[in-house]
Amino acid sequence: MKPRAEPPPGLLHNSGCAPRASIVWRGFGRGPISDDAERIDAARRRGSWLHVCIKIGQRDSRYHRDWNSAGALLQLVEQDHGLDEEAAGRRLVDLIEEHSRRLDWPPCLLTGGGALGRNEQITLDHVPTAFVALAKSAGNLWLRARPARLAPLQAPSLIEPGGAPIRGVEWHQRLWFPDGLPESLLAQLAQPPRQHQPLRTNPKR
């Protein structure tokens, strides 16, 4: 007498249709991040993307139709500079280099991360920091030793109607900090947005 066949395992009963379960990977020891404060605290302890982003709407007094001008860009840092184009270009480069030296960033950082969601990055709206991030980037790398170039600042992205309350432009860059965000950035992020004012360094020349 043949032994009675065992019924197939229960796990196979649903093999004819798509599974209904899903798996979400948040990394070792990671749970869902609920708010900005928790996200910033987590960025202190592990590798994180920083998204620096400036948005200037048409109603902003600093708005220009053509940003291919060092004088217009300098107004985002020193609004009443009163310099001609050549002097404004030199002044803006000096400001970018001075601010870069104050930042406790590594010598080299990876840039990119364009498809990241909000929970996977920290956003900072600070003009000098954004200019440093853009002016010293080449390809997919940010290099501290790279001389500041104004060309990446002269072609901001257009904010189309529907994507924002008013039409305008934005500058943005994403940087990967493999050891977590440095203290200088954490201090900026801890400030309310209204305090993210452009930094002034040396008096106007």
Domain ranges of the chain: 34-195
pTM given for the model: 0.71
Q: Is the pLDDT of residue 117 over 80?
A: no
Residue found under tokens 């790398």: 141
**pLDDT on residue 161:** 62
- Give the pLDDT band (50/70/90) at residue 188: confident
Task: State mean pLDDT over 54-74.
Answer: 91
Q: Region 119-127: what's the mean pLDDT? A: 81
CA distance linking residue 49 with residue 40, whole number of Å: 11
- Name which residue leads in pLDDT, 131 or 33: 131
pLDDT of residue 201: 36
Inter-CA distances, 122 with 20, 94, 165, 190, Å: 33, 27, 22, 12
H runs (alpha helix) in 8-138: 36-45, 70-74, 85-102, 127-135
The residue among 155 and 37 whose pLDDT is bigger is 155
Q: Which of 154, 157, 168 lies closest to 62, judged by CA?
A: 168
pLDDT bracket for residue 61 (50, 70, 90): confident
* Residue 150 near residue 158, CB atoms below 8 Å: no
Helix (H/G/I), strand (E/B), else coil: 164 = strand
The C-alpha atoms of residue 166 and residue 172 are separated, in whole angstroms, by 18
d(CA 108, CA 20): 44
How would residue 115 be classed by pLDDT, with cut points 50, 70 and 90? low
Confidence of residue 98 (pLDDT cuts 50, 70, 90): very high
In this predicted structure, what is the pLDDT of residue 138? 93
Q: Which two tokens stand for residue 77?
A: 């840092």
The whole-angstrom separation of Cα 170 and Cα 117 is: 18
Beta strands in 58-132 (DSSP E): 108-111, 121-124
Q: pLDDT band at residue 187, thresholds of 50, 70 and 90?
A: confident
Residue pLDDT, tens place only, 1-16? 555 655 555 544 444 5
d(CA 59, CA 36): 28
Question: What percent of the chain stands above pLDDT 70?
Answer: 64
CA-to-CA dists, residue 48 to 28, 66, 151, 177, angstroms: 15, 34, 27, 5
Across 103-110, average pLDDT: 95
**Burial zone of 3 (CB within 10 Å; 0-12 exposed, 13-18 middle, 19+ buried):** exposed
Does residue 157 contact residue 170 with C-beta atoms inside 8 Å?
yes
